[in-house]
Amino acid sequence: MSAVSGDLTLSRAEQAAQGERRSDWSDLGPRIVSSLVLAIGGVTAAYFGGPWIAGACGAAVVAMSWEWARMSEPDAPPAFLFALAGSLGAVMFSSWQHLDFAVMWLAACCVLSACRRRTLAGVIETAGGAFYIGLPAAIFVWLRDRGPEGLETILALFAIIWASDIFAYFGGKIIGGPKIARGLSPNKTYSGIFSGIIAGAAAGLGCGILFHVEPRYHVAWLIIGAVIAFTGLMGDLFESFLKRRFGVKDASRLIPGHGGVLDRIDSLMAASLLVGAALAFGPRATALLFGTGL
């Protein structure tokens, strides 16, 4: 067989494999059930706020700390303990609206854990892992209770990220096409990314209309939805990079159809960091967007 015909055969084999992956809906049922359970729990915790949202985030960081230690240092119990202590402490301080103390506590735990490692890569894995888990969770709690628009902010985040994830999944499955990062995640396509961004923008606009904001802010909500959706999708891609770095397919198998908690909420974590940073530099932004500012 010639090299050309071999390449053609390989190409056809790859195309057939891609077609099989696109037509494989075996995980759809578990994904839907798991997503509904998590969505109901998340919305309930967000609605009541206070200890409810702190408890939900606390439970999430317990699972994520174990998942991170399982991937990065499976034979080192201190990796789990430091990540857990740092993340839980950060969530606790954040629930009291002391995000500054949350960051300082988290940083201290990261430094103590990093002192165990002897290589730069090890230090980055340990310190970066704790921040990767604890900071988004702390910011998420802080966003919920930071002002009168806290609940609406969280619900908007949920709506945009969920719409983006759903349409990215179905867009990639149904449309298919070129891969965005074959070396990191073989199933992610440009069609899925664009579908997710469009869905996120539509969800953002829907939130603006649902919250009865002034029509002049509808375009802002459209843009915000697209930016948050893109950030969430990149957070998902970053999680794929981390799993490839550690040589695992899923962070764990805690959630049927999704893998681990890190696999399920990676988009929400990235979006929380973005929104938290935006509000840190523009504290009146939510008041204006929700129509309660001057």
pLDDT given at position 24: 63
pLDDT in tens, 87-136: 999 999 999 999 999 999 999 999 999 998 888 988 988 888 889 999 99
Chain mean pLDDT for the chain: 86
Average pLDDT, integer, range 213-236: 93
What DSSP state is assigned to residue 253? Answer: S
Residue 205 CB: number of other CB atoms within 10 A?
19
Angle, alpha carbons 246-236-249 (nearest 5°): 35
Task: Tell which residue, 60, 36, 48, 74, has the closest CA to residue 272.
Answer: 60
Angle, alpha carbons 194-196-201 (nearest 5°): 95
Average pLDDT, integer, range 251-269: 89
Amino acid in the structure at residue 157: L
Q: Residue 255's beta-bridge partner residues?
A: 259
Task: Tell which residue, 170, 177, 165, 89, has the closest CA to residue 133.
Answer: 89
Q: Which of 28-32, 48-52, 125-129, 216-220 has the lowest mean pLDDT?
A: 28-32
Q: What does R_g of the chain's alpha carbons equal in angstroms?
A: 20
Is the model's pTM score more than 0.85? Answer: yes
pLDDT given at position 52: 96
**Percent of the chain scored above 90 by pLDDT?**
54
How many CA atoms within 13 Å lie on the side-chain side of 230? 9
Distance CA 207, CA 199 (A): 12
Distance CA 84, CA 68 (A): 10
User: 23 exposed, middle or buried (CB, 10 Å; 0-12, 13-18, 19+)?
Assistant: exposed
What are the structural domain ranges in the chain?
A: 28-146, 148-294
Which tokens go with 67? Answer: 């998942």
Q: Residue 189's beta-bridge partner residues?
A: 179
pLDDT given at position 131: 93
179 three-class SS: strand
Exposure class string for 234-247: b at 16+ Cβ within 10 A, else e:
bbbbbbbebbeeee
- 83 in Cβ contact with 113 (< 8 Å): yes
Residue 206 phi/psi, 5-degree rounding, is -60, -40
Tell me the pLDDT band of 22, cut-offs 50, 70 and 90.
low
pLDDT in tens, 162-213: 999 999 999 988 888 888 877 777 778 899 999 999 999 999 999 999 988 8
Tell me the pLDDT band of 236, cut-offs 50, 70 and 90.
very high
